[in-house]
Structure 1
Amino acid sequence: MSAAPRVVVLAGGVGGSKFTVGVREALRRRWPDGQGGSAAELTVIVNTGDDIWMSGLRLQPDVDSQIYALAGVNDTERGWGRAGESERVSAEMKALGAGWPWFTLGDLDLGAHIARTGWLRDGVPLSEVVARLAARWPLGARLLPMTEAEVDTQVLTDDGRMHFQEWWTRHRASIPARGFVSPGIEDAVPAPGVLEALAAADAILFAPSNPVVSIHPILAVPGIADAVRAARGGVAGVSPIIAGSPVRGMADACLDAVGIRTAADAVGRHYGSRRDGGLLDAWLIAEEDAVLAPGLVASGVPASVHPLWMRDLDTGAALASAALDAALATDGR
């Protein structure tokens, strides 16, 4: 393809934001606009299943991770939040016995939460709220929430339900999960622009995000999975599993809960091939998992082997470029 493409990324979590930065850089290098950006169009459909109300504030961890990473203000050492943070407000809340002591909010981060909550209380639609937050910096990408409905992910355990953030952040996924639900998601609708972006895309990329709690909630919004299957552009996914272990986080606990092995081939088969009613035209697995490629291909999942570790901007851009090539090569199926 000689013309600059329209690219859509489905993403959630810190790993997803790292991949999005790589995609933006790959587009800048391959289709430069002469002004330091790219002539290509990049849209990110972000998981909002991680969203939560806390102390009267609406938090959107995955949306904020995308914004901070693309803006270059994320804390790369901690892996979440803003760089150069202070935590005076959280310390005062803890002294007052308010909030959750295991969920620390930085002062800069709180500024975003307060602004978001104020706009939502004033009746501003969530898509516009996300756009206003993203306008704080020149991101080089358009961010869309998967839906404007509140469909927070809950974890099913032997003792009942808890919000995903409590299970993930407080308990570090140590409590056995029996499943995950997003109450109300069956009645949700895609946020404005989501279906249109998927229909117009030349390439759709699944970030190496948690398949269960980052990518699945996006696809569970009625209409989104069907739009991916019907898209004229190619669809490529990147495995979040390397050599039997998650690239980041505790995705293995999530996969175990829904009966999927923590393996690159198992996740690829979970997504499935579009020609067989699934979602993928291409599935990128790591060099460490090269032995799995023939079995995936034989089962109908079009797998290829690439370096998947995103150690810096160059390796992230190289992975993104490989995913783009795989999707663009199957443009139009």
Structure 2
Amino acid sequence: MSGRVTVLTGGVGGAKLVLGLLQVCAPKNITAIVNTGDDFQHLGLSISPDIDTLLYTLSGKANKAQGWGREGETWTFMEALKSLAGEDWFLLGDGDMALHVLRPSLRASGQPLSGVTAHFAASWGLGLNMLPMSDDPVATHIMTDQGELRFQRYFVEQRCAPAVRAIRFAGAEAARPAPGVIDAIRDPETRTIVIAPSNPWLSIDPILAVPGIREALAAASAPVIAMSPIVGGQAVKGPTAKLMGELGLAISNEVIANQYAGIVDGLIVDERDGAEGLAIPHAVTDTLMKTLGDRVRVARAALDLALRLA
């Protein structure tokens, strides 16, 4: 495909989609804008879960069974940490530590998160342009029936068990899009903008909360295509369906379309759910991405719908 493609993405599901796009588009023509609302400091280390999931997935290093972390990981560090009564609720594998240690070291030398991310992507020969949504800190906070929790405390430590009442993005109002983010949306050579099938409230909303990004999407000349995370009335992975219920929302593609109202031109939905009642332009396909072939199919569906709407 000629022309550039820009993707807004969270972690596992979005990484699968980007991997599919890399099979049908030149890597240099793809820009991934990645959620950093999950980022946090832990044990003095800088953790960027969604960026790292993309790095591992696109470089072929990801754990194939779980979709995150490294394949063949070992856990000597965690065993030593536990022996010292250290916090062990967030797993840090031995190989995984390389990113988490090097990231704050490079940041301390003056590199912004965008520069560090580009360094990692280039080191592993990925070829695409991978951008954090912002170089400024933005933290997803979950208001629950058990109080306010930082995202990783809710997602990892509490395993999404607390009921969600509201979500806020601390620091978003003062944040600026990372260099290249707005350009990737506005670039006249960009032919398609895709919102990955990541959790709209926990992975995509943090990106949209950074001033200027939502407005750029609304004004984009390229079609903006959203991928619904709903499959058979449920979410493939993560707490999307549970979260929607707790926020009083029906688990449907109409709700997903309404969530993105004003910024998307089309929606990709799974064949198990169909498109009955959808007013927005759409395409129906099997959106489960278990194999590389599945990921290519879903990527092509997004590109084809964008071409039809262009």
Q: Normalising TM by the smaller chain, what interval?
A: over 0.9
SS of corresponding position for 2:131: strand
SS of corresponding position for 2:98: helix
- Work out whether residues 228 and 279 of structure 1, in 8 Å CA contact, stay in contact via their aligned partners in 2: yes
How do 1:9-48 residues align onto structure 2 when only pairs under 5 Å count? 9-27=7-25, 38=26, 41-48=29-36
> TM-score normalised to the size of structure 1?
0.89
Output the CA distance in 2 between the equivalents of 1:136 and 1:83.
18
Output the CA distance in 1 between the equivalents of 2:174 and 2:243.
24
Match of residue 133, structure 2, among 127, 132, 146: 146
Q: Gaps spanning 5+ residues in structure 2: where?
A: none
Which residue is equivalent to 1:66?
54
Q: Tell me the CA shift for residue 257 of structure 1.
A: 4.0
Q: In the alignment, does 2:298 pair up with 1:309?
A: no
Output the CA distance in 2 between the equivalents of 1:180 and 1:88.
36
- Work out whether residues 156 and 178 of structure 1, in 8 Å CA contact, stay in contact via their aligned partners in 2: yes
Q: In the alignment, does 2:89 pair up with 1:107?
A: no
SS of corresponding position for 2:96: helix
- Work out whether residues 28 and 127 of structure 2, in 8 Å CA contact, stay in contact via their aligned partners in 1: no
Q: How well do the aligned residues superpose, as a CA RMSD in angstroms?
A: 1.4
- Work out whether residues 234 and 329 of structure 1, in 8 Å CA contact, stay in contact via their aligned partners in 2: no
How do 1:1-333 residues align onto structure 2 when only pairs under 5 Å count? 4-27=2-25, 38=26, 41-98=29-86, 100-200=87-187, 201-272=190-261, 278-290=262-274, 293-297=275-279, 301-331=280-310
SS of corresponding position for 1:153: strand
Among the aligned pairs, what percent are the same residue?
39
Q: How many residues were matched structurally? A: 308
- Work out whether residues 5 and 41 of structure 1, in 8 Å CA contact, stay in contact via their aligned partners in 2: yes
- Work out whether residues 56 and 70 of structure 2, in 8 Å CA contact, stay in contact via their aligned partners in 1: yes
The one-letter amino acid paired with 1:296 is L
Output the CA distance in 2 between the equivalents of 1:294 and 1:11.
26
Output the CA distance in 2 between the equivalents of 1:6 and 1:78.
30
Output the CA distance in 2 between the equivalents of 1:167 and 1:282.
32
Q: Tell me the CA shift for residue 210 of structure 1.
A: 0.5
The one-letter amino acid paired with 2:289 is M
The one-letter amino acid paired with 1:26 is V
Output the CA distance in 1 between the equivalents of 2:141 and 2:113.
21
- Work out whether residues 7 and 40 of structure 1, in 8 Å CA contact, stay in contact via their aligned partners in 2: no
Output the CA distance in 2 between the equivalents of 1:181 and 1:103.
22
Q: Tell me the CA shift for residue 39 of structure 1.
A: 7.1
Q: Tell me the CA shift for residue 177 of structure 1.
A: 1.4
SS of corresponding position for 1:189: coil
Q: Tell me the CA shift for residue 18 of structure 1.
A: 0.9
SS of corresponding position for 2:139: coil
Deviations 1:1-34 (A, max 9, x none): xx7110000000211111110111122xxxxxxx
Compared CA separation, residues 40 and 326, structure 1 to 2 (3 A): farther
- Which sits farther off after the overlay, 44-53 or 88-97? 88-97
- Work out whether residues 75 and 81 of structure 1, in 8 Å CA contact, stay in contact via their aligned partners in 2: yes
- Work out whether residues 17 and 70 of structure 1, in 8 Å CA contact, stay in contact via their aligned partners in 2: yes
The one-letter amino acid paired with 2:80 is E
Q: Tell me the CA shift for residue 40 of structure 1.
A: 6.0
The one-letter amino acid paired with 1:166 is R
- Work out whether residues 243 and 263 of structure 1, in 8 Å CA contact, stay in contact via their aligned partners in 2: no
Output the CA distance in 2 between the equivalents of 1:106 and 1:310.
26
Deviations 1:222-264 (A, max 9, x none): 1001101111111111110112100111112332344332222
SS of corresponding position for 1:288: coil
**Which stretches of structure 1, 4 residues or more, deviate above 4 A after TM superposition?**
none
> TM-score normalised to the size of structure 2?
0.96
